[in-house]
Amino acid sequence: MIISSIQQYRVDLGARAYDIHIESGCLPEIGIKLTSLFGKASRCLIVSNDVVAPLYLDIVRSSLEAQGWAVAVYLMPDGEQFKNIEQWSKIMDALMATKLSRHEPVIALGGGVVGDMTGFAASCYRRGIPFVQIPTTVLAQVDSSVGGKTAINHPHGKNMIGAFYQPKLVWIDPLVLNTLEQRQVPAGLAEVIKYGLIRDKDFFLWLSQHMQELLALDDDIISQAILRSCAHKAEVVMADETEQGQRALLNLGHTFGHAIESMTHYTTYLHGEAVALGTMMATRLSEQLGFAAKGTEQHVVQIFKAANLPTEIPQFTADAWLDAMGHDKKNIGSLIRYVLLRDIGDAFIAEDVTDKDIRALIASFAP
């Protein structure tokens, strides 16, 4: 086994600052790290799901118990459809039963759903307790575990109920990705590609050149991709923690993607797959409105195809699209904001896109 060098990035948010630690093989060291971070062993709650727990729960629990931590566990079902108020309430019940103090942590061991829900529960329990992210999917390692967006879904829209609440630590072991269902890897890479599209053309080209190694989870290449993605995410978050301005650029593809997830009831596409489809729609819209040069969409479609991501836009009426996007949390009043491209590596927020523009876009995907 090749253990890559330790990579660390500091998210500097003053009193809310924390480290992103990336190191292949670091999972069994989490107990030592948490004891150092909190000064002493105490009580904690691990939240995971029924897919991740059989693989990694014993490693994390044993590491913590070896340092003297008293560990409680709550397991939730796996899947975006369980990112709801019922499961959030059960996490709160587990926190109540564990009786954690305001200084004892809850640990999210899993993908984006586990991380988002655990973070939101942590923000609410006793008006806020520490939480630690141990992300186990590509998407969570490169995106959702960093930045403090925590939420649950509502039938009317994705992530509509939540809070900005930063973790105390993000502990990333790329080796855990080797047990992922293969479909999860491309879904995570969709968020990696996003960083190249919105702010780093050189990174986009690097990803294009190394896509096969990324899909194969080559340890060195995937570790580099994780670090560069986390650094991009952290830089944006440090400049705009609560999404008053440029952080909204991270939502490239998400307005359309969230609508796709909502209209398909969170059962057809993984989040990253929906984001890829949404990004293709945003790129075509950028071309149709004259912001991006012809051929930009072709480059985007090519890299998503190379990443084994879906490229066929699902068919819904324009009214259904507009209704689903109207519930997006990124909107300002009745105004829908779209993240569009001028070029690869150059994104901007457009607030003057009309319903007519969207209807023309939807019509352009008709068979």
* CATH number for 263: 1.20.1090.10
The total number of structural domains in the chain stands at 2
Residue 1 maps to a domain? no
Same domain, 155 and 196: no
Residue 2 maps to a domain? no
Same domain, 220 and 253: yes
Tell me which of 261, 271, 273, 284 is the catalytic residue. Answer: 271
Same domain, 80 and 151: yes
Same domain, 214 and 94: no
Same domain, 237 and 95: no
Note if 126 is an active site residue.
Answer: no
Note if 102 is an active site residue.
Answer: no
Residue 119 maps to a domain? yes
Select from 163, 179, 195 the last residue of a domain.
179
Residue 249 maps to a domain? yes
Select from 149, 179, 209 the last residue of a domain.
179
Tell me which of 21, 168, 258, 284 is the catalytic residue. Answer: 258
Mean predicted confidence (pLDDT) in 282-293: 97
Tell me which of 127, 294, 312, 356 is the catalytic residue. Answer: 127
Note if 254 is an active site residue.
Answer: yes
Note if 232 is an active site residue.
Answer: no
Tell me which of 83, 241, 251, 284 is the catalytic residue. Answer: 251
Domain that holds residue 115: 7-179
Q: What is the CA radius of gyration of the chain?
A: 20
Least confident of 47-51, 267-271, 274-278: 267-271
Tell me which of 23, 80, 241, 243 is the catalytic residue. Answer: 243
Mean predicted confidence (pLDDT) in 204-221: 97
Note if 154 is an active site residue.
Answer: no
Distance CA 306, CA 299 (A): 11
For 66, how many CA atoms within 13 A lie in the half-sphere containing its CB? 12
Predicted local distance difference test score (pLDDT) of residue 2: 39
pLDDT for 6 beyond 80 = no
Helix (H) or strand (E) holding 360: helix 355-364
Note if 183 is an active site residue.
Answer: no
Same domain, 266 and 283: yes
Distance CA 152, CA 120 (A): 8
Same domain, 251 and 360: yes
Same domain, 346 and 223: yes
Report how far apart the first and last C-alpha atoms of the chain are (Å, whole number): 49
Condensed to tens digits (0 to 9), the pLDDT of residues 128-157 reads: 999 999 999 999 999 999 999 999 998 877
Tell me which of 21, 61, 83, 149 is the catalytic residue. Answer: 149
Distance CA 317, CA 362 (A): 8
Token digits for 323?
A: 């209704």
Question: 76 phi and psi, to 5 degrees?
Answer: -110, 165
Note if 243 is an active site residue.
Answer: yes
Token digits for 223?
A: 């570790």
Q: What is the pTM of this model?
A: 0.91
Tell me which of 191, 241, 261, 297 is the catalytic residue. Answer: 191
Tell me which of 21, 158, 228, 247 is the catalytic residue. Answer: 247
Tell me which of 254, 261, 284, 297 is the catalytic residue. Answer: 254
pLDDT for 11 beyond 80 = yes
